[in-house]
Amino acid sequence: MRHPSTAAIRLADYRPADFAIDSVELDFALNPTKTRVSARLALRRNPAGDSSAPLVLDGDELMLLGVKLDGRTLGPGKYEATQDRLTLAEVPDAPFTLEIDTELNPSGNTQLSGLYRSGSAYCTQCEAEGFRRITYFLDRPDVLSVYTTRIEAEKSEAPILLSNGNPIEHGDVAGSNRHYALWRDPFPKPSYLFALVGGDLGVVRDEFTTMSGRVVDLAIYVEHGKESRAAYAMDALKRSMRWDEEKFGREYDLDVFNIVAVSDFNMGAMENKGLNIFNDKYVLASPDTATDGDYAGIEGVIAHEYFHNWTGNRITCRDWFQLCLKEGLTVFRDQEFSADMRSRAVERIGDVRGLRLAQFPEDAGPLAHPVRPDVYQEINNFYTATVYEKGAEIIRMLRTLIGEDDFRRGMDLYFERFDGTAATVEDFLSCFAAASGRDLTHFALWYSQAGTPVVTTSGDYDPAARTFALKLSQQTPPTPGQSDKKPVVIPLALALFGENGQKLDLVSEDATPTELARGLIELDRAERVIRFREIPSRPVVSLLRGFSAPVRLEPAPASEDLERLLACDDDPFNRWQASQSLALRAIFGRLETGALDARGLSEALRLLLAKAEDDPALVAQALSLPSDIDLAREKGNDVDPDQLFDARMALRAEIGRSLGSELDAIHARFSAAGAFTPDAASAGRRALRNVTLDVLAAGDAEKGRSLATAQFETAGNMTDKLAALATLALLGGHAREEAFARFYAQYAGDALVIDKWFSLQAMIPEQATTQRVLGLMTHREFSMSNPNRVRALIGAFANGNLTRFHALDGSGYDLLTAVVLEVDPKNPQVSARLLSALRSWRTMESRRRGLIEARLKHIVAQENLSADLRDIATRALG
């Protein structure tokens, strides 16, 4: 077990490495329990480092076999080796080589960090600090080296041998049943981008001709028999490569690009240079096994990892505090790619939904941290929604503020100036300051100040003067370690609409001509009042259009204004926002008064349904009412999930009843015809049809049950089948159990599909679910060692079933606690992430808060916690 480090690591303490490692030659002799690694490092003192410092290399659970310096074996007195450190007090001043032999047990590596096994294959995961589990090294992102990797293995066990870069040579090892492959990556890279794969895998091949005419061989390696399920991923890869050329002028730089799908993986995927390793969930898809959501996820993650080749690999991070430099930027790039491939408006709504679901709660609770943190205990715990998704929002705001042209010129400058280096957020921003001529010092506060700003608005119309005074103010709530907040630069996209829905010209002396022309107000201080002139009647304000900044707006516009916006706003995001705000208003109205008034929302939705053909995906989004998590976040404190759930169900049922015939007609009209295609237009039609089924069933259970049963039986694709099963899961009774049994019988053994079966059951909002989940934990297809299984069953229960997880008898918390403590010794990254399900515990009402606090204290009191889990539990208690 990794030693729980107690020392905090601080950005302020950053120092360059004392040594540089120019080249690394690795030789792996793969064996299930005794893999031998020989590393030959070309070292020299770093002129920027301390010239008298000893050489201290990082390790983690390593078994050292021997060390040689400049070819001579070092006696034990010449170095000091522990499992997690190799120290040489004296080394030559001139460049020298160090040869280090270690022995690894990949089969026993349950953390899935370093060299491990997934099924019978060997694979690696080195970000953030996994390389030190392979050999002693300066395992930090600012040490860049050229890698040559030789892999040797038994031919039958591992006919495929892959590493980073280009293939140089391969052949048999004379006099044995072993063979080898030699790979060389000419691009200097940090150790976290190293990768190796060995195994008996199926492959799909293709090629891509780059913009300068070079032919790149593409390959996706999957489990034998799953090759046909990699076709969509391959298509997405080629589209990503083209898009990065067209949108950012970025060309691929090696002769080959390999992707390997494995079924045991802690995260989504990893951008290792030239050898991306994926959670197979983000590679494998067929109409029969993957939903439209899965297809979109694959497209996005394939693009994300590919885009890292420039934003992450060619330009990497100086230190892990700069993680958002590669992640926020690359998320922004994959979001833009998906927007270009699909519907820009639907993509934006989905991205904002995701941000509010995961990042806003994180930013409002005890785990809140700046997009660029300044201190951490365990870096694995900072691969967060804040670093990724809020990080992407900062890039988006930057583009909004300086405009597309300057943004593109800033990106070009960034690639030009920092290619081949390990950069910082300051380096990045300096390029945009240069390209736009704008001082970005104040804007940079977004990186260092945590918490979601609240923008408060009020409008005052003066009919005599025909003026409309819009008062805008901002306030960021305190977060751990940051009690006083400064105003940030908030780009607020804005439009005013007149009585007949016409867009009004923006005329004012209180804003700059550029602000008025662009409809973009920059709120860069605590408060601004803008008096608009020549306003014929009280206008409706469309603010934060396209969600132009990651802030909360207060208060929501009045209901009649929301209804007007739904009808006239030409910003599709704000039309959708208006439907959500109306739904929230109805739900919270019922919570306060006990009476449900959903007329405004129903009528608005009726109008949308009448025009459903125009943009089915957008209408589907409007019909998707806020979730329990949305409601808990909006409530903010004293959350009682049972009350929120009841109010939400009441609204769904009411909409289902009042729009019954319209929904029925849509469900019939949008029924699938012809073969399944995963494109956005077809997916949008399915989304609309399936959300109508959901709402319809809420209003009329009998009808819902018969429609869902029929759809379940006849569905020609997983999207429709799973949607029907989800509806049946909510309706309960014999039909549900029958459907779950048949689904299992059909897909038994297909792990990714069975994950969906686990998740849907874990999310049934009924008392018996906790028992059901405990039962499923003993199911033959469940495994505590596989992250996808644990997330599908336990993650879905803790994050997607608020009423059961927060049951007042504490049974949901007990379940999570037991699983977290069971998983922790095997896989700390997974246990720590699971426990983050409690990140909003202080917003619960007092009884539940007490129950959770007791569990967190129980966890912290355990002796052998991993550093990862201890860090989350301790910060959660705060």
Q: Which residues bind ligand PHE (CB under 6 A)?
A: 125, 127-128, 266-267, 269-271, 304-305, 327, 383
Judged by CB under 5 A, how many residues of this single chain contact Zn ion? Answer: 2
Kindly state the smallest distance separating residue 302's Cβ from Zn ion, in Å. Answer: 12
Q: Give the separation between CA 223 and CA 550, rounded to whole angstroms.
A: 41
| C-beta of 262 vs 364, nearer to ligand PHE | 262
CB 693 within 8 A of CB 723: yes
Phi, psi of 22 (to 5 degrees): -75, -40
Min CB(330)–ligand PHE separation in Å: 7
**From Zn ion, ligand PHE, none, which one binds at residue 125 (CB under 5 to 8 Å depending on kind)?**
ligand PHE
Minimum separation from the CB atom of position 427 to Zn ion (A): 19
Shortest gap between Cβ of 332 and Zn ion (angstroms)?
Answer: 11
- Helix 701-714 with 718-731: angle, nearest 10 deg: 150
Structure tokens at 713: 């039986």
The residue among 160 and 323 lying less far from Zn ion, judged by its C-beta, is: 323
Q: Return d(Cα 680, Cα 342) in angstroms, integer.
A: 5
User: Is there a contact between 248 and 306 (Cβ–Cβ < 8 Å)?
Assistant: no
The span from the CA of 542 to the CA of 537, in Å, is 15
Of these partners, ligand PHE, Zn ion, none, which one is at the site of residue 730 (CB under 5 to 8 Å by kind)?
none
Nearest to 841 by CA among 380, 357, 364: 364
Instruction: Report the SS3 class of residue 79.
Output: coil
What does each C-alpha distance from 333 to 243, 323, 704 come to in angstroms?
10, 15, 40
Q: Of the two residues 269 and 790, which places its CB atom closer to ligand PHE in the complex?
A: 269
18/305 with CB nearer ligand PHE:
305
Which is the catalytic residue, given 271, 299, 305, 389? 305
Instruction: Identify residues 268-327 at the interface with Zn ion (CB under 5 A).
Output: 327
798 contact, one of ligand PHE, Zn ion, none, CB 5-8 Å limit per kind: none
Q: How far is the CB of 599 from Zn ion (least distance, A)?
A: 45
* Nearest distance, CB of residue 314 and Zn ion, angstroms: 14
For the bound state, the minimum distance from the C-beta of residue 300 to Zn ion, rounded and expressed in Å, comes to: 11
Least distance from Zn ion to the Cβ atom of residue 394, Å = 15
Binding site partner of 269, from Zn ion, ligand PHE, none, Cβ cut-off 5-8 A by kind: ligand PHE
Nearer to Zn ion, 135 or 276 (CB): 276
Q: How far, in Å, CA of 384 to CA of 390, rounded?
A: 9
Q: Which does 383 bind (CB under 5 to 8 A by kind): Zn ion, ligand PHE, none?
A: ligand PHE
Q: Which does 267 bind (CB under 5 to 8 A by kind): Zn ion, ligand PHE, none?
A: ligand PHE
Give the x/- contact pattern for Zn ion in 320-339, rule: CB under 5 A. -------x--x---------
- The whole-angstrom distance between residue 619's C-alpha and the CA centroid of its chain comes to 25
Position 1, amino acid: M
Shortest distance, position 832 Cβ to ligand PHE, whole Å: 13
Structure tokens at 416: 């030009």
Contact indicator for 869, 835 with CB cutoff of 8 Å: yes
Tell me the three-class secondary structure of 564-633, residue by residue: HHHHHCCCHHHHHHHHHHHHHHHHHHHHHHCCCCCHHHHHHHHHHHHCCCCCHHHHHHHHCCCCHHHHHH
Beta bridge pairs of residue 169:
182
Q: Which does 315 bind (CB under 5 to 8 A by kind): ligand PHE, Zn ion, none?
A: none
- Side chain identity at 641, as an amino acid letter? P
CB distance 539 to 560 below 8 Å: no
Q: Which is nearer to Zn ion, 240 or 330 (CB)?
A: 330
Closer residue to ligand PHE, CB minimum distance, 267 or 472: 267
CA 687 to CA 346: how far, in whole Å?
11
SS3 685: helix
Q: Which helix (H) or strand (E) holds 785?
A: none
What is the smallest separation between the CB atom of 270 and ligand PHE, expressed in angstroms?
4
Between 302 and 504, whose beta carbon lies closer to ligand PHE? Answer: 302
Nearer of residues 268 and 716 to Zn ion, judged by Cβ? 268
Determine whether 766 is an active site residue: no
CA dihedral 423, 427, 432, 438 (to 10 degrees): 160
Partner interacting with residue 817 (select from Zn ion, ligand PHE, none; CB below 5-8 Å by kind):
none
Q: Which one of Zn ion, ligand PHE, none interacts with residue 270, CB within 5 to 8 A by kind?
A: ligand PHE
CA dihedral 326, 329, 332, 338 (to 10 degrees): -50
Q: Which is nearer to ligand PHE, 271 or 406 (CB)?
A: 271
Cβ atoms < 10 Å from Cβ of 464: 5
CB of 20 vs ligand PHE, minimal distance in Å = 24
Residue 790, phi then psi, degrees to nearest 5: -60, -45
Peptide bond into 233 cis (omega under 30): no
Number of residues assigned to the chain: 878
319 binds, among ligand PHE, Zn ion, none (CB under 5 to 8 A by kind): none
CB of 164 to Zn ion, least distance (A): 17
Computed from CA positions of residues 239, 242, 246, 248, in that sequence, does the dihedral angle turn out positive or negative?
A: positive
Least Å distance, CB 128 to ligand PHE, is: 6
Q: Which is nearer to ligand PHE, 125 or 727 (CB)?
A: 125
Sequential DSSP letters for 334-390: HHHHHHHHS-HHHHHHHHHHHIIIIIHHHHHSTT---SS-SEES-GGGG-SHIIIII
Name 108's Cβ contacts closer than 8 Å, sequence gap at least 6: 33
- Distances in Å between the Cα of 54 and the Cα atoms of 66, 137, 302 are 19, 14, 42
Nearer CB in complex with ligand PHE: 304/870: 304
* Binding positions for Zn ion, 113-152, rule CB under 5 A: none
Query: Which residues face 63 on adjacent strands?
Result: 103
Residue 263 or 272 with smaller CB distance to Zn ion: 272
Contact between 204 and 227 (Cβ < 8 Å):
yes
* Cα–Cα distance, 426 to 428 (Å, whole number): 5
Q: Is the peptide bond before 555 cis (omega within 30 degrees of 0)?
A: yes
Residue whose C-beta lies closest to ligand PHE: 267
Active site residues: 305
Chain contacts with Zn ion (rule: CB under 5 A): 327, 330
